[in-house]
Amino acid sequence: MSLVVKFKKCSDLKRIMAFIVDFFFTLLLTLLLLASSLAIFYATPNYKEALSIQENLKERSALFIEGKEAPLYLSENSLTIKEQARELDELMTNFYENSYFFKDNNEINEYNNRKLNEKYNGYNLFKEENNEIIFTFENVPDNTYLTYLTSEYNTYALSSFRNFDEYINTTKFVSLTNLLLIIFTFLFSSIIFYFLIPFLSKNNRATLGMKIFKLGLISNSNYSLTKKEFIYRFLFFFIIEYILGFLSFFIIPLISLSFMLLSKNSLPFHDLLLNSKMIDVSGVKIFKNKYELLNTLNTSK
């Protein structure tokens, strides 16, 4: 006896919308898990020590005020442009003279030379007087000083600070920890929504998004995917199209989407290779195998 079960083909729009819903909930769970994970790691001794070292370095450098970069902090306070320029120059001078960051006088000498060589319409911004480098404020607008010193801060001072070995090491530790947490929480969330939920679905192997749009997965035999078939499909989709898709700047998912939109059967790459297909299950039931179908038919008589 030959039993043929026919199902309605799902629309490409429903398929795309289901993926968007699943991806949204994946990101939402990722953010929740990431926030919880970071809260835990912030309390660990190594992480707290790394953050403490960074804060101490910022405070010692004098380039930051109350945790903010000096130009930003100064601009937010009721200081004139001339006062901001003087304050910024003093902070950078203290930084370049700080023996903790610089073992010789090369940096402060280079800073002073850069100031003496800076001109505006042929006029010097600074001049040397009694062995000190001072502002000229002659024929030079005040904002020119602030613009120059802000550029000096970003180009030289801040760059020198961020290239300081102790700061680099702590930044690497903090950044690597955060990156690993992001990757782990995202992969964990993805496995829940793209594997665990459909794996536990009885017959239709539907994700949350697919359930919302009444879609299901079946094999080409028109019966439910077996656990083995579903695992193979998930691994191919997750590794090739999902993970490598991000690494390839979405080239692989775009190829798969092209297969779905242009192929005769409207199948993405993973379904085309693994003999599976997505269907519309509105008002119909997916059977595990022909024996379950026969049993249902006999029961209904």
Per-residue pLDDT of 177-214, as tens digits, reads 999 999 999 999 999 999 999 999 877 899 999 999 99
The one-letter amino acid at 47: Y
Q: Which structure tokens are listed for 273?
A: 């290779």
pLDDT bracket for residue 298 (50, 70, 90):
confident
Query: For residues 208 and 221, what is the distance between their CA atoms, to the nearest angstrom?
Result: 24
- What is the C-alpha to C-alpha distance for residues 111 and 100, in angstroms, rounded to an integer? 17
From residue 207, how far is each of 61, 154, 185, 200, 294 by CA, in Å? Answer: 52, 49, 19, 10, 27
The confidence band for 300, taking pLDDT boundaries of 50, 70 and 90, is low
Rounded to two decimals, the pTM is: 0.74
Amino acid in position 215 = L
Q: At what angle do helices 165-191 and 45-61 cross, to 10 degrees?
A: 140
Matching residue, tokens 């083909």: 9
Cβ proximity of 267 and 260 under 8 Å: yes
How far is 69 from 76, CA to CA, in rounded Å?
11
Q: Which amino acid type is present at position 73?
A: Y
Task: Find, among 21, 18, 15, 29, the residue nearest to 187 by Cα.
Answer: 29
pLDDT higher than threshold 70 for residue 147: yes
pLDDT per position as a tens digit, 250-263: 787 777 777 777 77
The percent of residues in the chain predicted with pLDDT above 70, rounded, is 97
pLDDT attached to residue 41: 86
DSSP bridge pairs for 124:
119
